[in-house]
Structure 1
């Protein structure tokens, strides 16, 4: 039960990190999650439980590596395969050897096998950490391809090396020849096992779909089950489960080529589920890293046999070894690499040195390193505690944090993002499409669908407002000016009503007085609001009108008081009561609201005011109308909801047509149109299939 509570608390921390990262975009999400892990470690209600190392490997490593292999760009991987393999295998082995021997020489208390295990764990890089860094850094497509390919392959090489070094530390003996033979068997066997399972999985998925047996639920469950089956199956055959997962992830297709709403729904759900799972697993690992830091730190700091300065110095030394060795290796590979066009080796220019530095700091340690360190057993053969386990964990954690900090703050300096964010560039285009959609929906308003279309327009207005806030182009002053103009429309409407009442008096004196009194009170309210909302720049020009308005309002109030007083003196009841005036004023308010709504709908088809300002003000007036009217019946609400769904489907068609018109007019490019259409297709599948 404690483990379950631990997992639930970790997931809650991951959710909090997803919100916290939005407020500090220049700090990478892994750093935020590490900080949260440190924080929650001190919370009294947070359970203190240990995860089994083997369970940790299966639960975190297998699905993360599988997803990373499956989603990698295969064409980009082939273009940078040589450099990626050099970093993934050659640099990983060099890091393992350098860290192992230097650390053992500097701190003999750590055995050579344990130091080699630490060096092997520090070989893999974390591409997820790089992709989640702030948007200030801009890497080239080749740099990203090299880093992702390296992260994929060095996970396998680092894990295999770590397992052999850990076995030597566990048993106390290390036979190079035997280890090399086992490595070859494990490498070839794991790869072969993964390829065989990939072929079988492709056949199963294609057969199930062709026979019509596939459902979204069964398909997603089969995909989620596969990486765990791969890892556990390979381990049963005593071959590398990690290599099996990577090999299968590279070759499994999942047959996403079918046509139909069910296929589209399955593909969309699959992508969403894997995205959530990937973020959750990566976040959980970094939360666990933050939770582990205080315990490892307290153990090390409270041990009188270990100097705190030595411990900090070891962390800095190991970090320096990893970074310097990586920079030298990358620079050497760039120097000996031949140009794809001329076939000659190129000299190291300042730009190429900068590229080497970018790829050096662009490979921080993270998920895999920490996951491997968690698999260090708590005891060795004979039941004794694993020597220096807390210190090894602390050193690895310190190197992870330092490399993440260096990547977070140095990458933007080495590769500043001078261009615009593609997602941000799409926002103005998206706003134009949504605005055109709202304008066309406005032209389709009829008495029957008026309420439903206005509700859909409200949804589009909110979406436009959110998009404009993201790029800081919201115009509150423009909306304020339209609100003031709407008050003038209200005043004009009331004046027209009052003139009509006086021009054509009602035969009933009570009704005549009631109508005049309601109009006068409405005018008082509107004029009072206008006096308080007048802008400073127009304050001087409104001084005279304000004085006149206040005088007229005072005159009307004096007349009303006089009428009431005379009625009391004569002991006669007034023609109308306050309740009647209140009811008539309420009805007149609804008429005014309808008049303003009609004016706003007309203005949305013109260029006088911004469409989103008109629809935003529409939302305010509809809310005011709803508060004045009685609550609608359940059957009426259900009918409106169904009508709203139909209008939403129509709006998607309008959006697609607007995009096509903009593409044909040359206002947007084909890639931009593709992105816009993809978003609409997702909403259409949602509406039609109910995902």
Structure 2
């Protein structure tokens, strides 16, 4: 039960960290998770953290390495393969030797084999840990490719070196010749095993798919079991399970072949499942780091036989060795690497030194390092306690924190984003977001929802066409400000319309005369004489105003985070409006023989009021064309959008008769905006866009979600 409770608490902490990271844009997610782990370790209801090292290796490292190998860009990996392998193997071995001998010299109580194990564990980098930093720092595609390739391969080399060093520390015997031969056998054997299994798995899945036996459930379950079976199978043959997982992950491609809705649906579910699993496993590792650090620190700090100054000094020395060697190695590789076009070695310019610094701090230690340190056994072969185990974990944790903090705060300084985003770049990003949204909507299209989704897809397609036509010609920031001001004009009209309706009803209630009817179309006035139309108009105005105000609050919150009181007042007014509507409907249900106003009436009035609001905005835009507040071409484009939207609304035949279709379209439209926001968040998390770009894109979605799209 304690293990189950710990799992629940850790998952809750991972979820909490994902929310907190949105409000701490300058702090990387791993640092937030480490802090949460530190806090959790001080809570009395949190169970003690104890985990079998072998279980930890299988449970965390195998699936993470498989996913990393499977998702890496193979073309980018091939282009930067030489530099990546140099860092993954050469630098990893050099780091292992340097850290081992220097730490043993500085603190002789640490056995050389144990110090070498620490050096091997500090060889692997964690590109995932710094992925969030790419949102604030400008890394080139080559730099990202090198870092990801290095992270993939040095995981394997570091783990193999760590395992041999631990074996020597446990037995007290380290024979170079035997170790080298075992390393070669383990390396080649693990690679061959992964290749063979990868080929068999590709054939097996393709055969199952051809025979029509594949289902989403069986596909996902088989794929999830794969990395665990690979690792355990290779280890049972006494070859490297890590290398087998990496080799198979690079080779397997069954999910990238095949056509049809079932394959597409299975791929979507697989991507979602692996995304959740990756975030959960990575987050769990850093939460555990934060939870285990206090115990390791306390036991070492309170130990009279351990010098606190030596402990902190060791962290400093090891950090300097790791970072310094990495910088010098990368600079040397940049110096001796020949240019692809001239085949000449290039001199180290200021820009190339900066690139070396970027890749130095862009490779912090993280998941794999911590996972390896957790696998250090508690006892050696003789049954005695493993020497300095807590101190080694503490030093490794300290180095992880040092490298993460340096990456978090130095990387944006040495590789800042260029000032502002060009219009062309923002338009290209907008097109990519819309394209991915269309693909997601197309994957979700079925025979039942086709009529509702096709107008939405068509509207997105037209938006893509319009953006491509004006690519590089429009300042999206200025254009969005014009959209917001047009939305403000629409809001003021709806507020005036609502105030007029309430005043008319109040005058009618105070007199015995016939019901007062506002200026609405003749077919609407002829529906009823008992005031239900006016009340349907009031509810329609309230709903439309609530939508507009919600979008305005979201846009204003993105730009002016200090106006919390304004935001809270706006939300309170929104809740008050909704409560008033609910109360009015409940009272009307008890005091009237007929329904107060049906959803069909409300939807009809909503569209009629929005048409009138569009007319008001169109008039306002014509006024703006005669002024110099906004560029004329921007006003003209927005004017065309509003005219298309108005024409689309007016052309809908028999609104009341097609109520079910209209509601389906509205639901599909809301779903499409949710998908679009999800695409933006996914691109942000993958480092494809910056937080500033994500805010601008979200702002556009909030604005678009209020106004009816042109062809919907």
Query: 2: CA distance between counterparts of 1:484 and 1:320?
Result: 61
Structure-2 residue corresponding to 1:565: none
* Cα pair distance change 1:589/1:234, threshold 3 Å: closer
- Displacement of 1:515 in angstroms is 3.7
Question: Does the 8 Å CA contact 1:21/1:32 hold for their aligned counterparts?
Answer: yes
Structure-2 residue corresponding to 1:102: 102
* Cα pair distance change 1:513/1:278, threshold 3 Å: same
Determine if the alignment matches structure 1 residue 120 to structure 2 residue 131. Answer: no
Structure-2 residue corresponding to 1:482: 490
Structure-1 residue corresponding to 2:197: 197
- Displacement of 1:653 in angstroms is 11
* SS of structure 1 residue aligned to 2:212: coil
Query: 2: CA distance between counterparts of 1:276 and 1:263?
Result: 20
Query: 1: CA distance between counterparts of 2:354 and 2:503?
Result: 73
Structure-2 residue corresponding to 1:27: 27
Query: 2: CA distance between counterparts of 1:654 and 1:39?
Result: 37
Query: 1: CA distance between counterparts of 2:23 and 2:506?
Result: 53
Determine if the alignment matches structure 1 residue 144 to structure 2 residue 163. Answer: no
* Cα pair distance change 1:174/1:594, threshold 3 Å: closer
Residues 152-189 of structure 1, C-alpha deviations (whole Å, 9 max, x = no match): 11000000000000000011111111111111110111
Structure-2 residue corresponding to 1:60: 60
Larger deviation, residues 373-382 vs 646-655: 646-655
Question: Does the 8 Å CA contact 1:493/1:592 hold for their aligned counterparts?
Answer: no
- Displacement of 1:231 in angstroms is 0.1
Structure-2 residue corresponding to 1:397: 397
Query: 2: CA distance between counterparts of 1:62 and 1:490?
Result: 61
From 642, 645, 666, the counterpart of 2:664: 645
Question: Does the 8 Å CA contact 1:2/1:47 hold for their aligned counterparts?
Answer: yes
Question: Does the 8 Å CA contact 1:314/1:395 hold for their aligned counterparts?
Answer: yes
Query: 2: CA distance between counterparts of 1:511 and 1:587?
Result: 21
Structure-2 residue corresponding to 1:188: 188
Query: 1: CA distance between counterparts of 2:106 and 2:382?
Result: 28
Residues 43-78 of structure 1, C-alpha deviations (whole Å, 9 max, x = no match): 111111311000000000000011111111111111
The 5-angstrom pairing of residues 223-372 of structure 1 reads 223-372=223-372
Query: 2: CA distance between counterparts of 1:140 and 1:368?
Result: 24
Residues 459-506 of structure 1, C-alpha deviations (whole Å, 9 max, x = no match): x9xxxxxxx99x99698776554344335446777999999x9xxxxx
Query: 1: CA distance between counterparts of 2:411 and 2:82?
Result: 24
Question: Does the 8 Å CA contact 1:26/1:134 hold for their aligned counterparts?
Answer: no
The 5-angstrom pairing of residues 374-389 of structure 1 reads 374-389=374-389
Structure-1 residue corresponding to 2:46: 46
Structure-1 residue corresponding to 2:71: 71
Structure-2 residue corresponding to 1:210: 210
Question: Does the 8 Å CA contact 1:336/1:345 hold for their aligned counterparts?
Answer: yes
* Cα pair distance change 1:313/1:592, threshold 3 Å: closer
- Displacement of 1:258 in angstroms is 1.6
From 592, 610, 618, the counterpart of 1:607: 618
The 5-angstrom pairing of residues 560-579 of structure 1 reads none
Residues 579-627 of structure 1, C-alpha deviations (whole Å, 9 max, x = no match): 9xx989x97999999767523234447734789999xxxxxxxxxxxxx
The 5-angstrom pairing of residues 577-596 of structure 1 reads none
Question: Does the 8 Å CA contact 1:326/1:360 hold for their aligned counterparts?
Answer: yes
Residues 429-456 of structure 1, C-alpha deviations (whole Å, 9 max, x = no match): 699999xxxxxxxxxxxxxxxxx99xx9
Equivalenced residue count is 548
- Displacement of 1:426 in angstroms is 6.6
* Cα pair distance change 1:84/1:592, threshold 3 Å: closer
| Structure 2, gaps ≥5 residues long | 437-451, 461-475, 518-529, 542-587, 621-637, 644-656, 676-692, 702-712
Query: 1: CA distance between counterparts of 2:270 and 2:432?
Result: 26
Query: 1: CA distance between counterparts of 2:216 and 2:605?
Result: 49
Q: Say which one has the larger Rg.
A: 1
* SS of structure 2 residue aligned to 1:158: helix
* Cα pair distance change 1:214/1:39, threshold 3 Å: same
- Displacement of 1:307 in angstroms is 2.0
Question: Does the 8 Å CA contact 1:160/1:240 hold for their aligned counterparts?
Answer: yes
Question: Does the 8 Å CA contact 1:208/1:214 hold for their aligned counterparts?
Answer: yes
Structure-1 residue corresponding to 2:407: 407
* SS of structure 1 residue aligned to 2:93: helix
Query: 2: CA distance between counterparts of 1:72 and 1:267?
Result: 17
- Displacement of 1:386 in angstroms is 1.0
Residues 401-452 of structure 1, C-alpha deviations (whole Å, 9 max, x = no match): 0000111111111111125499975786699999xxxxxxxxxxxxxxxxx9
- Displacement of 1:257 in angstroms is 2.2
* Cα pair distance change 1:484/1:382, threshold 3 Å: same
* Cα pair distance change 1:420/1:224, threshold 3 Å: farther
Query: 1: CA distance between counterparts of 2:4 and 2:69?
Result: 29
* SS of structure 2 residue aligned to 1:340: coil
Query: 1: CA distance between counterparts of 2:341 and 2:239?
Result: 41
* Cα pair distance change 1:494/1:24, threshold 3 Å: closer
Determine if the alignment matches structure 1 residue 84 to structure 2 residue 92. Answer: no
Structure-2 residue corresponding to 1:2: 2
Question: Does the 8 Å CA contact 2:49/2:292 hold for their aligned counterparts?
Answer: no
Structure-1 residue corresponding to 2:580: none
Question: Does the 8 Å CA contact 2:315/2:398 hold for their aligned counterparts?
Answer: yes
Larger deviation, residues 586-595 vs 159-168: 586-595
- Displacement of 1:354 in angstroms is 0.6
Structure-2 residue corresponding to 1:441: none
Question: Does the 8 Å CA contact 1:230/1:241 hold for their aligned counterparts?
Answer: yes
* Cα pair distance change 1:141/1:653, threshold 3 Å: closer
Structure-1 residue corresponding to 2:222: 222
Query: 2: CA distance between counterparts of 1:655 and 1:11?
Result: 25
* Cα pair distance change 1:236/1:474, threshold 3 Å: farther
- The TM-score with structure 2 as length reference comes to 0.68
Structure-1 residue corresponding to 2:166: 166
Question: Does the 8 Å CA contact 2:87/2:154 hold for their aligned counterparts?
Answer: yes
Question: Does the 8 Å CA contact 1:125/1:150 hold for their aligned counterparts?
Answer: yes
* Cα pair distance change 1:473/1:158, threshold 3 Å: farther
Determine if the alignment matches structure 1 residue 598 to structure 2 residue 617. Answer: no
* SS of structure 2 residue aligned to 1:246: helix
Query: 1: CA distance between counterparts of 2:503 and 2:49?
Result: 75
Question: Does the 8 Å CA contact 2:504/2:516 hold for their aligned counterparts?
Answer: no
Structure-1 residue corresponding to 2:562: none
Question: Does the 8 Å CA contact 1:121/1:369 hold for their aligned counterparts?
Answer: yes
